[in-house]
Amino acid sequence: MNGPRSPIGCRIVPGAIFIALLATPAGRTRPAQVPPSPSGAVIPHPTTRPSLSLKARKSIFEKIWSEIHGHYYDPAFNGVNWDDVRQRYRPLIEAAKNDAEFYALLSQMTGELHDAHTRFNSPAQWKNYKRQQGVGAGLSVDDIGGKTVVVMVRGDSSAAHSGIEPGMIVLSVDGKPIAERIAEIEKSKAFSSTDRATRIFTYSRLFAGPPDTELKLGMERADGSHFEASVTRLIYSVASNVATDVLPSGNAYIRFDGFQPSITKEFRQALERFRNAPGVVIDLRRNGGGDLGVLLPIAGYFFDKKTLFAKDKTRSGKPLSEFAGVLRLPLDLYVGRPGDQIYSGQVVVLVDARSASSSEVFAAGMQDSKRAEIIGSQSCGCVLGIAKPRAMKGGGVLEISEVLWYSPKGRKLEGTGILPDQTVVPTLGDLQQKSDPALAAADLALRQMTVSARRAPNRL
């Protein structure tokens, strides 16, 4: 799917937005990360490319415009006059003073489509993405009750060492009031796939900067007292991982933050370990998506027969004859077959605004098939497919949304996302008390589902 990102391997749709929660893939926030233009600092590399000539820049610009014109999934270009975009950006491209300004303009131009998956990556951004590295301040924030609240802190970060904890309110960034800083970012940033995606991109930019630089944050503790924290931006790995636990009820818990090939084996092993658990919570909160080639096998572990799991639509209305260079993409996607099911018990899937792309396709398939109850808050609504990355002269890479995704029952996911069966949104008090109401609701739902299943009469 590939953001919110996590494209990997042959980068099968729907593109990942991969909005890394604590480290922004150098210049990529995906869903959610879920954002089309670079959101973080670029990690410097020892080698640099020679500057592009004006002729080369004009050629790259025309190629990018033409590729989008010919392959974008929506012939109406999401309501944008694409010919007008060409006319407006051509003189800006010709006047660009250097490669950095040129690449920034290309990113801005693709952002005009208000689509979290169509994006241009500079050579450095693409290199950092492939290395799965990101620069981060070590904390993640969100809007809770109109306040910018810390929702997660990385344990090995200087933010944690500075005393920052979930539930604290950010008052200022480098001496500037938080509301003023957010307004500046919003003024320069185009609307993305949804207001949720736009907000995530805004927050990812809030603390962006080069590695090993300092950030001054004005903070408010739960007791109302204020303090200033000095946070150092560091380079982190943004590779996906699987975390598991057994809840006091005996229900199992599995969390992972991206549908990347690296988690496939680990997820299967976890599910096999929990094969006899009464219920399983699949936590996709903050999961920015990834590879369709990872999503489909994982989904198949929950079904004992062939089941329609997702639908897609292309610009031509026909299946893509070549997808990611290696396979044909059907318009209807199925999972499951007799003998392959690993887990047959009750399932709850947790989602939130940072659940993007592939994670939304997974949740929609589980929801429509009645295989799982969805709990949490409305997902990103960033669900488009990137068939392949398009390399440009100089090392930049263009990604284009070529596929629109639907749930098995035909619900369009882009722009709407997943509406939970049960909405549970953490409050400021929950964060300050270190409680997780969505997980508690999932555990309760599983216990009730298990009891109901035991009481249900056997059917022939």
Pairwise CA distance, residues 438 & 458, whole Å: 32
79 beta partners: none
- Residues 296 and 153 placed together within one structural domain of the fold: no
For residues 225 and 362, membership in a common domain is answered with: no
Task: Return d(Cα 178, Cα 106) in angstroms, integer.
Answer: 29
Same structural domain, 306 and 432: yes
How distant, in Å, are the alpha carbons of 118, 265, 290, 295, 417 from that of 384?
A: 9, 26, 11, 15, 11
Please give the pLDDT value at position 3. Answer: 39
Q: Would 43 be classed as within a structural domain?
A: no
81: in domain: no
Residue 50 belongs to some domain of the structure: no
Distance between CA atoms of 194 and 388, rounded to whole angstroms? 23
Q: What is the mean pLDDT of residues 241-260?
A: 96
On whether the CB atoms of residues 355 and 21 are closer than 8 A, the answer is no
Rounded Cα–Cα distance for residues 12 and 14 (Å): 7
Verify that 192 and 145 share a domain, yes or no: yes
Q: Are residues 429 and 411 part of one domain?
A: yes
Q: Is there a single domain that holds both residue 335 and residue 419? A: yes
Token pair, residue 53, equals 């000539």
Nearest to 38 by CA among 235, 286, 210: 210
Q: What is the 3-state secondary structure (H, E, C) of 145-212?
A: CCEEEEEEECCCCHHHHCCCCCCCEEEEECCEEHHHHHHHHHHHCCCCCCHHHHHHHHHHHHCCCCCC
Domain-terminating residue out of 219, 237, 255: 237
Nearest to 273 by CA among 245, 294, 235: 245
SS3 (DSSP) at 56: helix
Residues 296 and 347 in one domain: yes
What's the whole-number mean pLDDT along residues 22-39?
Answer: 32
φ, ψ at 54 (rounded to 5°):
-60, -40
* Token pair 């950092």: residue: 128
Shared domain for 315 and 431, answered yes or no, is yes
User: pLDDT at residue 453 above 70?
Assistant: yes
- The total number of structural domains that make up the chain: 2
Cα–Cα dist 350/355, whole Å:
9
Identify whether 208 is part of a domain: yes
Q: How many Cβ atoms sit within 10 Å of the Cβ of residue 78?
A: 17
Boundary-marking domain end, from 237, 265, 285:
237
pLDDT exceeds cutoff 90 at 231: yes
Q: What is the pLDDT of residue 445?
A: 98
CA 86 to chain centre: 29
pLDDT at 82: 98
Distances (CA, A) of 266 to 241, 281, 294, 297, 343: 8, 16, 12, 13, 15
Regarding whether 275 and 197 lie in a shared domain, the answer is: no
pLDDT of residue 326: 43
Domain membership flag for residue 49: no
Give the pLDDT score at 190. 74
Q: What pLDDT is stored for residue 302 in this prediction?
A: 98
Q: What is the predicted pLDDT for the residue at 236?
A: 87
What pLDDT, in 10s, does the model give residues 378-418?
999 999 999 889 999 999 999 999 999 999 999 999 999 99
Specify the CATH number for the domain of residue 205.
2.30.42.10
Whether 23 has a pLDDT exceeding 50, the answer reads no
- Convert the pLDDT of each residue in 306-316 to its tens digit: 999 999 999 98
User: Span 231-239, mean pLDDT?
Assistant: 89
Q: Of 190, 220, 237, which closes a domain?
A: 237
Average pLDDT over residues 254-271: 95
**Residue 31 domain flag:** no
Tokens 């590729």 belong to 67
Taking only the tens place, the pLDDT of each residue in 99-150 is 999 999 999 999 999 998 999 999 988 988 888 888 889 999 999 999 999 9
Q: Residue 19's pLDDT is what?
A: 35
> With contact defined as beta carbons under 8 Å apart, do 286 and 355 qualify?
yes
The residues near 33 (Cβ < 8 Å, ≥ 6 apart) are: 3, 4, 5, 16, 17, 18, 19, 20, 24, 25, 39, 116, 200, 201, 204, 288, 356
Single pTM value for the model: 0.88
Residue 122 lies in a domain: no
Residues 225 and 311 in one domain: no
Residue 15 resides in a domain:
no
In SS3 terms, 103-114 reads as: HHHHHHHHHCCC
Decide: 149 and 169 in contact? Cβ < 8 Å. Answer: yes
What is the secondary structure of 314-331 as a DSSP string? ETTSS-EEEETTTEEE-S
> What single-letter DSSP state applies at residue 28?
-
Average confidence (pLDDT) over 332-346: 96
Question: Could you tell me if 314 and 445 lie in one domain?
Answer: yes
Both 213 and 335 in one domain: the answer is no
Q: What are phi and psi of 161, to 5 degrees?
A: -65, -25
Contacts (Cβ under 8 Å, ≥6 apart) of 294: 8, 259, 260, 261, 263, 264, 358
Predicted confidence band at 163 (pLDDT cuts at 50, 70, 90)?
very high
Query: What pLDDT score was predicted for residue 173?
Result: 97
Tell me how far apart the alpha carbons of residues 189 and 273 are, in angstroms, rounded to a whole number.
45
Q: Is the pLDDT of residue 372 over 60?
A: yes
pLDDT value of residue 329: 85
How far apart, in whole angstroms, are the C-alpha atoms of residue 244 and residue 265?
A: 14
CATH code where residue 326 lies: 3.90.226.10
Cis upstream peptide for 14 (omega within 30°) = yes
Is the Cβ–Cβ distance between 380 and 360 less than 8 Å?
yes
Q: How confident is the model at residue 283 (pLDDT cuts 50, 70, 90)?
A: very high
Q: In the chain, pLDDT over 90 holds for what percent of residues?
A: 73
Confidence of residue 458 (pLDDT cuts 50, 70, 90): low
Q: What is the pLDDT of residue 459?
A: 46
Tell me what the pLDDT averaged over the chain comes to: 87
The boundaries of the domain holding residue 356 are: 242-383+406-455
Show the tokens assigned to 41: 């600092």
DSSP string across 393-418:
TTS-EEEEEEEEEE-TT--B-TTT--
